[in-house]
Structure 1
Amino acid sequence: MEAGETAVVTFSVTNNIPDRPVDARLQLDLPSTGVSIAGVEGDSVESRSSTNFVTVSGGEQKSLRVRMRFNEPGEYQISAQSAYYYGNKSNVQQKAIKPISVSVTSSSSVDGTPGFSAVGTLLALCFSAYATARKCRN
């Protein structure tokens, strides 16, 4: 992968509670430099490393396509958590999402001027998170 390019990560939220909406977001564990969220298809960016909360109606699924920009060469281990809640934002729960590995390297172009080439290897490109919960019984 070339430095400066974006990779797409899909975040899917499935609400298994038929009568209550769930609010969920993706929080990426990104290094302080070199990688950031460039955009979100299906919602919007809250910060350089998280999406805004999206609401998923009971019994439905919603997917967000998150574009991550890799601006600097290097080896990146990107992990994430889904954060979700039903009704009361003070009861946010989190679920870890399997990490991906991304290798981004730079090289010189053919004419000798600095440039980038797609030498990097993207080992995994898709997170899949399912925010699920069980109804509380009194």
Structure 2
Amino acid sequence: MQATADRVEAAYGVDLAALWPRLWLILPEPAVRQIQSARDSFSAAARLAAWAVGYALLAFWWGPAALVAIGCGTVARSRARTALDALAGLIEAAVDVHGRELATRVGLIAPDATGLLAHDTGDGMSEVFRKAE
């Protein structure tokens, strides 16, 4: 996730942590559903990891639970990585596709402007969204 924030910062000059809550508000329903689906997949992997911890604790009293814990942990790690990769990609894509729309809505660029989101516009969005922290 940090790599995604770094790429967005490098490409557009915008702080993803400050941008994201506002961008989330304007995303169309299909994008929201896809992002929620990726987040739900990560949550499911985290629940499986919690089960792995539970089985690991149980292994202190019942040895075979260690195998179950290892299996659950391995699957949870794999699923979490896949889900986070998908989530990071979707977040970055949302910025790519809808960042200009947000900049337009907050008045940093004209509605008829063309091209990609400029770095100075991203800097301006970060400044506005951080509220001069």
Please confirm whether the aligned pair reaches a TM-score higher than 0.5, indicating the same fold: no
TM range (shorter): 0.3 to 0.5
Q: Per chain length, whose mean CA-contact separation is higher, i.e. which structure has more relative contact order (CA < 8 Å, sep 6+)?
A: 2
Larger radius of gyration: 2
Structure 2 length normalisation: TM-score? 0.33
Structure 1 length normalisation: TM-score? 0.32
> More helix per residue: 1 or 2?
2
> More strand per residue: 1 or 2?
1
